[in-house]
Amino acid sequence: MSEYVLILISAVLVNNFVLVQFLGLCPFMGVSNKVETAMGMSLATTFVLTLSSVLAYLTWAYILVPFELEYLRTISFILVIAVAVQFTEMFVKKASPLLYRVLGVFLPLITSNCAVLGVALLNVRKEDATFLSSLTYGFGAALGFSLVLVLFAAMRERIAVADVPEAFRGPSIGLITAGLMSLAFMGFSGLIKL
Amino acid sequence: MALITVSSPHTTKKGNHTGAFMRQVIYATAPGLAALTWLFGYGTLLNVCFAVLVAVGCEALFLRARGRDVSFYLSDFSAVVTALLLALAMPPTSPWWLILIGTAFAIIIAKQLYGGLGMNPFNPAMVGYVLLLISFPVEMTRWIAPHEAPALSDSIQIFLGQTNVDAFSGATPLDTMRTWAGNAEQLSNQPILHGAFAGEGWEWVNAAFLLGGLYLMWRRIITWHIPAGVLAGLTAIALPFWLFDSVRFADPLFHLFSGAAMLGAFFIATDPVSAATSRNGRLIFGALIGVLVWVIRTFGGYPDAMAFAVLLMNLAAPTIDYYTQPRTYGHKAAHRGASK
């Protein structure tokens, strides 16, 4: 049990995907202009990341390893993620049209989120990966992504009205802010040794 | 009777402007500065003077480059306060270049790039401190043993980087606690852990900053919410763990009077720009800083945690404000994001 708690804390804070491993920066910069959209993106990403992390693990353990096709992992994971995203979209559209409208274009966009592929690949690189540890890791990565995305969005709403020098407006001050956030997250380093 | 023709806020009290407030903060650090100088020598004093020079210089240069009124913005003393807080947090063995890098980064990147005072999302002094701590961990954790202050000439030599500092350096109570946590015999043998009521020497530094902080509260420069939140949060999490295992975990009093606890609670976390704004928000903001300080001090990789905790909560402050916005009279409370 405590092993899974450690994996979760590690993925959320210590090895945060955005601020420590610098994965998934495109949605981090792209959909962080408003808190509401950032929350929609967080929800969608959390769902897809957890699901695809598990599916990728199953593909790895029951298809790629038995047939000795490990070298195909990148391309097969991309396929799995694309399928997971597409199925999620179809399911959400049928099951909850309201949620589908709220998430809108962010749902298909998750396919191109490099954190999703990153989690899948990092998962199978660990030798003692199990079904549950992959699930926890994927969920933790998604929680960490959501956390910093929402915090960053709230911060950017403030910076948008600040008197930033002309040359630094928009994405440049956003990237500087992300860098300073990264500095702050360094405080968690050494918290957990996995 | 003359009508007031100035724009809001309508205050007629004299000395009620930013510069006056900042000057009160500067006066309030005097006891802490005195305690640091008494225990660790003139190093801190040299650091403060140099940091203020660098900060004012950087601010003036940047304002000039932007075509702003230099003397107007400099007279709000905010650059001086940033430099002062950074220099107070730095070890007295710092060479001049360390101060230069930290202060210049704090003023230019963390403050002026966001548009100057009132716009910076992070506390500039702590951004400078964290940058230095990550880049130069050896220099930033080299403190002097209390009551073994080097002479003025030695301090100047250290400041100019011409002396080997190792002859003067000693571990702080927090370092010692980290090294020996869980070892009862060693803990009782470390004199630095057994001062009058907390870590040797450091309890007086923190008591002095507490005094300065109470002065700020008395002058109504700061409200009680953030410091109370920080101290309560730190106590609330340290107490049960200490009761559970007093060998592995330090007692709450030790945490409250070690490292930058009081400086952080009263002078750094209360920065009105980068902290949360509503009353409830401030209590949450402070309490979470206290908890983070304890977590990072106890389990983290760095000896003191105040700078990291403040930055992490600065990062969360806009979100805290978003959810703790007070209800305006006559309206229902606003529905927010995921809480719908």
| Cα gap B36→B126, rounded to integer Å | 19
Residue A152 pLDDT more than 60?
A: yes
Look at residue B340 in the predicted model and tell me its pLDDT. 41
Chain B residues closer than 8 Å to A190 by CB: 299-302
Give CA angle at A102 (A96, A106), nearest 5°. Answer: 110
Are A164 and B119 an interchain contact pair (Cβ–Cβ within 8 Å)? yes
At B61-101, the pLDDT tens digits run 999 998 888 888 888 899 999 999 999 999 988 999 999 99
Look at residue B160 in the predicted model and tell me its pLDDT. 85
**Beta carbons of B320 and B279 less than 8 angstroms apart:** no
B164, B182: one domain: no
B226, B137: one domain: no
Range(s) of the domain holding residue B202: 172-324
Are A154 and B131 an interchain contact pair (Cβ–Cβ within 8 Å)? no
Are B337 and A39 an interchain contact pair (Cβ–Cβ within 8 Å)? yes
Share of chain B above pLDDT 70, in %: 93
Which residue, chain included where needed, has tokens 């309201």? A98
Look at residue B339 in the predicted model and tell me its pLDDT. 47
**Beta carbons of B212 and B266 less than 8 angstroms apart:** yes
Chain B residues closer than 8 Å to A183 by CB: 127, 130-131, 134, 311
B225, B312: one domain: yes
Helix orientation angle between A131-159 and A171-185, rounded to the nearest 10 degrees: 130
Using alpha carbons, select from B234, B227, B265 the residue that is nearest to residue B250: B234
- The tokens describing A20, both together, are 């420590």
Look at residue B180 in the predicted model and tell me its pLDDT. 82
Question: What distance in Å separates residue A154's CA from the closest CA in chain B?
Answer: 5
Phi and psi based region of residue B259 (left: phi greater than 0; alpha: psi -120 to 50; beta: remaining): left
Confidence of residue B52 (pLDDT cuts 50, 70, 90): very high
Look at residue A172 in the predicted model and tell me its pLDDT. 92
Residues A31-52 have a mean pLDDT of 86
Residue A168's closest chain B neighbor by CA?
B113
Look at residue A47 in the predicted model and tell me its pLDDT. 87
Q: Which one is predicted more confidently, B301 or A81?
A: A81
Chain B residues closer than 8 Å to A36 by CB: 337
Chain A residues closer than 8 Å to B112 by CB: 165
Look at residue A98 in the predicted model and tell me its pLDDT. 81
For residue A112, the one-letter residue type is S
Top-confidence range, A37-46, A106-115, B208-217, B250-259: B208-217
Chain A residues closer than 8 Å to B302 by CB: 187, 189-190
* In-domain check, residue B334: no
Look at residue B338 in the predicted model and tell me its pLDDT. 55
At B8-49, the pLDDT tens digits run 666 656 666 888 889 999 999 999 999 999 998 898 999 999
Average confidence score pLDDT of chain A: 88
Are A190 and B302 an interchain contact pair (Cβ–Cβ within 8 Å)? yes
B236, B285: one domain: yes
B27, B40: one domain: yes
Question: What distance in Å separates residue B319's CA from the closest CA in chain A?
Answer: 6
- The tokens describing B148, both together, are 């073994």
For residue A163, the one-letter residue type is D
Chain B residues closer than 8 Å to A181 by CB: 315
Residue A190 pLDDT more than 50?
A: yes
A168 SS3 class: helix
Look at residue B1 in the predicted model and tell me its pLDDT. 47
Look at residue A41 in the predicted model and tell me its pLDDT. 83
* In-domain check, residue B338: no
* In-domain check, residue B8: no
| Cα gap A156→A34, rounded to integer Å | 8
Share of chain A above pLDDT 90, in %: 38
* In-domain check, residue B191: yes
Look at residue B305 in the predicted model and tell me its pLDDT. 87
Using alpha carbons, select from B313, B296, B310 the residue that is nearest to residue B129: B310
Q: Which of B296, B300, B319 sits opposite A150 (nearest CB)?
A: B319
Distance set, CA A8 to CA A148, A150, B300 (Å):
15, 19, 16
Residue B241 pLDDT more than 70?
A: yes
Using alpha carbons, select from B205, B210, B208, B211 the residue that is nearest to residue B258: B205
Residues B252-274 have a mean pLDDT of 92
Look at residue B10 in the predicted model and tell me its pLDDT. 61
Are A164 and B314 an interchain contact pair (Cβ–Cβ within 8 Å)? no
**Beta carbons of A35 and A154 less than 8 angstroms apart:** yes
A68-90 as b/e: b if 16+ CB within 10 A: eeeeebeebbeebbeebbeebbe
Using alpha carbons, select from B77, B90, B73 the residue that is nearest to residue B27: B77
* In-domain check, residue B339: no
For residue A122, the one-letter residue type is L
Look at residue B80 in the predicted model and tell me its pLDDT. 94
B121, B205: one domain: no
User: Length of chain A in residues, anyone?
Assistant: 194
Q: Which of B113, B296, B322 sits opposite A173 (nearest CB)?
A: B113
Residue B280 pLDDT more than 60?
A: yes
| Cα gap B122→B82, rounded to integer Å | 12
Are B311 and A159 an interchain contact pair (Cβ–Cβ within 8 Å)? no
B215, B263: one domain: yes
* In-domain check, residue B10: no
Chain A residues closer than 8 Å to B305 by CB: 187
Q: Which of B115, B296, B314 sits opposite A163 (nearest CB)?
A: B115
Chain B residues closer than 8 Å to A189 by CB: 300-302
Confidence of residue B269 (pLDDT cuts 50, 70, 90): very high
Q: Which of B112, B305, B337 sits opposite A36 (nearest CB)?
A: B337
Distance set, CA B161 to CA B67, B304, B305, B338 (Å):
36, 24, 27, 54
User: Length of chain B in residues, anyone?
Assistant: 340
Q: Which one is predicted more confidently, B217 or B338?
A: B217
Number of domains, chain B:
2
B280, B312: one domain: yes
- Tally Cβ neighbours within 10 Å of residue B177: 23
Look at the alpha carbons of A7, A8, A14, A19 in this order and tell me if their dihedral is positive or negative.
positive
Confidence of residue B169 (pLDDT cuts 50, 70, 90): confident
Are B114 and A191 an interchain contact pair (Cβ–Cβ within 8 Å)? no
B299, B176: one domain: yes
Q: How many CA atoms lie within 13 A of B28 on its CB side?
A: 27
At A97-138, the pLDDT tens digits run 887 887 777 778 888 888 889 998 888 887 778 889 999 999
ipTM reported for the complex, 2 dp:
0.89
Chain A residues closer than 8 Å to B67 by CB: none
Distance set, CA B7 to CA A162, B3, B11, B12 (Å):
21, 12, 10, 12
Average confidence score pLDDT of chain B: 87
B55, B101: one domain: yes
State which of B152, B170, B188 marks the end of a domain: B170
Q: What is the dihedral of CA A48, A54, A56, A61, to 10 degrees?
A: 180
Are A168 and B113 an interchain contact pair (Cβ–Cβ within 8 Å)? yes
**Beta carbons of B102 and B52 less than 8 angstroms apart:** no
Instruction: Enumerate the H helices of chain B as residue ranges.
Output: 18-28, 30-40, 43-65, 70-74, 78-89, 96-105, 124-135, 137-140, 152-159, 173-180, 184-189, 202-218, 225-244, 252-256, 261-263, 279-299, 306-323
- The tokens describing B288, both together, are 């979470």
B166, B67: one domain: yes
Does residue A98 belong to the interface with chain B, where contact is any CB pair within 8 Å?
A: no
* In-domain check, residue B95: yes
* In-domain check, residue B59: yes
Residue B109's closest chain A neighbor by CA?
A176
Residues B102-108 have a mean pLDDT of 95
pTM for this one? 0.90
Helix orientation angle between B152-159 and B43-65, rounded to the nearest 10 degrees: 40
State which of B117, B141, B170 marks the end of a domain: B170
B111, B242: one domain: no
Chain B residues closer than 8 Å to A159 by CB: 114, 119, 121
User: For an interface test with B, which of A2, A5, A188, A191 has the most B Cβ atoms less than 10 Å from its Cβ?
Assistant: A188
Does residue A166 belong to the interface with chain B, where contact is any CB pair within 8 Å?
A: no
- The tokens describing B127, both together, are 């951004």
Examine residue B124 and say whether the peptide bond preceding it is cis (omega within 30 degrees of 0): no
State which of B170, B185, B220 marks the end of a domain: B170
